Amino acid sequence: MRGLNSLAVLLAASVTSVVAVLPHHEAHAKYAKRAQPKHVLPRQPALKPRSISKYLTNSTASFAVNGTALPEIDFDIGESYAGTLPISTNASDTNRLWFWFFPSENPLAEKEITIWLNGGPGCSSLDGLFQENGPFSWQSGTYAPIPNPYSWTNLTNMIWIDQPVSSGYSPGDILVDDEIDVGNQFAAFWKNFIDTFSMQGYKIYITGESYAGQYIPYIASNFLDRNDTTYYNLKGIQINDPSINDFDTMGSAPVTAAALYYQNVLNLNDTYIANITARAKSCGYTDFLEYASVFPPAGPIPTAPSSSEYGCDLYDDIYNAVYYVNPCFNIYHLTDYCPFLWDELGFPSLGGGPNNYFNRTDVKEILHAPVDVDYFVCAGGPNLFPEGDKSIDSALGPLPSVI
């Protein structure tokens, strides 16, 4: 990658985590219903209103979002644009990706844009916008959203995209077999977006989390292979808590070390700790982790020991043990304890709230989303990897060459 600009702080290397290997939709069944919240946060100051910008044109007017009209949000979210664009040159293509674009007022970001992708596979990027890095935030257990003073829109132009097709608000039933399909469909959508908003030549950064560790290197490789800086002027990627390798490498091998490190939170008993420590050693995970954790490596890193061997499925074993100790265990936030806090997005590791906010018809209409889409934060349609993602793991495929 070539030099970075004002986004350098966002594009630092990220550490691989055990948590990334558990698809969000698989976590859903493991958690009980959340309790109702007890109080509401005090009213927060409104975001600074944004002035009309160069992005509001005849081509984009139909995507403009009324920043004061979203239900339950009692402040102006500022200038933004949302809607769907096709994944082909056919304007009537029913396979489309939904986006929400927020221009930044930072003058240093005039000719750049950052793409945020959530993972899953099949999770909506509204999860990231709504509860992580967007201009407003609605946290679990609270009755209403508040402005986010740490929004990434303070730094750069941001776009959150529901992809692949059938994730979140993105309609369609096209078959997605592998990451080559993901990259090609995303690239076609992206060209349509660039033309619609006249962003030819903009510097592009792609970031995201979890299964986006698989998406992003393949999309980045697709962009670079096109050798077209008018539409695909990629300058950097960042992947957080990424899924980039096989389950045994990312889950089984490090899980015992992770459990020992967080023992003060997990509260597993001494007998069980001794048991999993001995099994990690006998299964070969301890030696593998010690060898693979040294940089520079002494030589080629071998394949991780298999969790299919008797007594070596330590990931599921430890997960179940922790859940027994803490029935409200949240693998995405280890310090959560009972009672559950309900979540307005209904994120799989949390309890669904009284409303699925983004499935409301009035919200869909304001965000120019298909009203007939049954929105769920982490789902994906039957044609999204119906036989699993057939691509090799990104760390063994495009990631090294992209870097």
pLDDT per position as a tens digit, 114-123: 999 999 999 9
Cα–Cα distance for residue pair 100/93, rounded to 1 Å: 19
CA dihedral 330, 333, 337, 340 (to 10 degrees): -60
Q: Specify the higher pLDDT residue, 341 or 268.
A: 268
Over residues 330-349, the mean pLDDT reads 78
pLDDT per position as a tens digit, 142-170: 888 999 999 999 999 999 999 999 999 99
- Percent of the chain surpassing pLDDT 90: 74
Cα–Cα distance for residue pair 8/198, rounded to 1 Å: 25
Burial 72-82 (b: 16+ CB within 10 A, else e): ebebbbbbbbb
pLDDT per position as a tens digit, 75-117: 999 999 999 999 999 999 999 999 999 999 999 998 999 999 9
Q: What is the mean pLDDT of the chain?
A: 87
- pLDDT at residue 14 in the model: 37
For the record, the structure tokens of 84 come out as 């769907």
- pLDDT at residue 354 in the model: 56
The most distant pair of C-alpha atoms in the chain lies apart, rounded to whole Å, by: 68
**pTM higher than the cut 0.75:** yes
Domains located in the chain, CATH noted: 1-245+315-403 (3.40.50.1820)
